[in-house]
Amino acid sequence: MTLDVRFELQQAIVENQLVLHYQPIVSTRDRALVAVEALVRWRHPTRGILPPSQFVPALERAGLARDLTLWVLREAISQSAVWKRDRQPLAVAVNMSPENLRDPHFRRLLEITLHAVGSPEMLIAEIPAATLTSPAQLTSLSLMREKGIRVAIDDVVERAPLADIPADILKIGRSLTARSVLEPDARADFDAILAAAKAQNLSVTAVGVESEASWPIVRACDAVQGYAIAQAL
């Protein structure tokens, strides 16, 4: 990575070129709004609005994962505090990377951020299932929960043991949700993951609900998100 690219990425954070969009998460019981997921975009000065796939990997390679996550946390929790003051309390889910969990300083910075701008119970920390590969990461999740932060295991697309994962929410990945509409084997995996999560008293969210055809499959979940519900706003 060139110094110019690293500088450009740093400037994106410092100069507020980043912006958050919020995708609604709704209850399957009554389709009431229960939370939102914060999704970062880059308002690039010459290239327009960029999705995270076009810049987040570069940020992580540049060693800026902590800076990005803390920026997202501050913005998301501040917005949640505004909603709470307006008597519309709404939890915000924020994606966290494996680098965040490995970072020995991140947890302290997270505590400082929460103390400064909001309540921990309004934050949901989302961790990709595929990245939970070490006991140290699980310890980090346990410590987050001790502080009152809810933990969501994101993008679960295959059956795996859940008993030892310190979490509150399991999010079934969009690829499995989509395939479950047409493929019996995928539907069986979906149902098995849902049953296993319920056995561990985890709340389950189905991600990637793109049409009404998904509802017979996902209605046993606690919540859903996807384009059939609402795009990120």
Contact 68, 55 (CB under 8 A): no
Report CA Rg, the chain: 18
DSSP-based three-state secondary structure for 34: strand
Please give the average per-residue pLDDT across 70-95, as a whole number. 89
- What pLDDT score was predicted for residue 3? 43
Statement: residue 228 has pLDDT above 70: yes
Please give the average per-residue pLDDT across 8-15, as a whole number. 85
Structural domain including 81 reads: 3-225
- What pLDDT score was predicted for residue 4? 63
- CB neighbour class for 44 (10 Å; exposed up to 12, middle 13-18, buried from 19): middle
Domain count for the chain, please give it.
1
List Cα–Cα distances, 154 to 5, 72, 134, in angstroms. Answer: 30, 17, 16
191 vs 63, residue with greater confidence: 191
Rounded CA-CA distance 74/122 in Å is: 12
Q: What mean pLDDT, rounded, does the chain reach?
A: 89
Please give the average per-residue pLDDT across 19-25, as a whole number. 95
Contact 41, 51 (CB under 8 A): yes
Task: Classify residue 233: in a domain, yes or no.
Answer: no
Where residue 120 falls among pLDDT bands split at 50, 70, 90? confident
Please give the average per-residue pLDDT across 81-93, as a whole number. 88
Statement: residue 12 has pLDDT above 90: no
pTM for this model (two decimals): 0.91
- What pLDDT score was predicted for residue 176? 97
Task: Classify residue 232: in a domain, yes or no.
Answer: no
Statement: residue 5 has pLDDT above 70: no
- What pLDDT score was predicted for residue 99? 83
Task: Classify residue 231: in a domain, yes or no.
Answer: no
Statement: residue 71 has pLDDT above 50: yes
Task: Classify residue 53: in a domain, yes or no.
Answer: yes
- What pLDDT score was predicted for residue 121? 84
143 vs 206, residue with greater confidence: 206
Task: Classify residue 51: in a domain, yes or no.
Answer: yes
Q: What is the pLDDT of residues 161-206, one digit of tens each?
A: 888 899 999 999 999 999 999 999 999 999 999 999 999 999 999 9
Check which CATH number belongs to the domain holding 67 and give it. 3.20.20.450
